Amino acid sequence: MNTLDYSLIACAYLFGSLSTAIIVCNVMGLPDPRSQGSGNPGATNVLRVGGKKAAAITLAGDSLKGLIPVLLGRWLTTPDMTLALIGLAAFLGHLYPVFFGFRGGKGVATLFGVLFGLHWEVGAATVGTWLFVAKILRISSLSALVASLLAPFYVWLILPSREFLIVTLLMTALLYWRHRSNIKRLLSGEEE
């Protein structure tokens, strides 16, 4: 890797660290999502705290945090390893944002953005899975868990890149870690 690669990875982390939920709630005069509802600065909690418009803006912003850095890296024709690390850095920025005390979201929308940046078909398959499960079961966290679990399979099927597969597996593992309280509630039948 060269200096440009390292710079792109660092910028992706910083871009991912911009917490859309906190910024949107602040601009719209809503309470800090970390102090309301589930305490998670993500689109689902912003929906609870501020309604559909605020949630839609948060969802779009969180997705773009994953998409834009990967597309920029792709435009600059960086190698697969660098593109994978750019996506991972943006994802980690969302989970552990330096600008917000390392207290970030669970990473679902940012994961979707990264996957769309790697290949639109992988992103579409993952989001399609989320939408399908959400329509049937109506549980956002379960939809996210199923979609992210299948994301590495979609990468393996569509993209013959070991680097993309490894990073997608790592992001899926981190997403599951961030959803551990949701998983406990799902297993006990308490999750809505």
pLDDT value of residue 192:
64
pLDDT value of residue 90:
98
State how far the Cα of 80 lies from the Cα of 143, in Å rounded to an integer: 28
Q: Which residues of the chain have pLDDT under 70?
A: 191-192
pLDDT value of residue 138:
86
pLDDT value of residue 144:
93
pLDDT value of residue 191:
66
Residues 6+ apart with CB under 8 A from 1: 81, 82
pLDDT value of residue 42:
86
Q: What does R_g of the chain's alpha carbons equal in angstroms?
A: 16
Q: Helices in 36-179 by DSSP H: which ranges?
A: 43-50, 52-75, 80-95, 108-118, 120-137, 140-158, 162-178
Give this prediction's pTM. Answer: 0.93
pLDDT value of residue 112:
97
pLDDT value of residue 103:
86
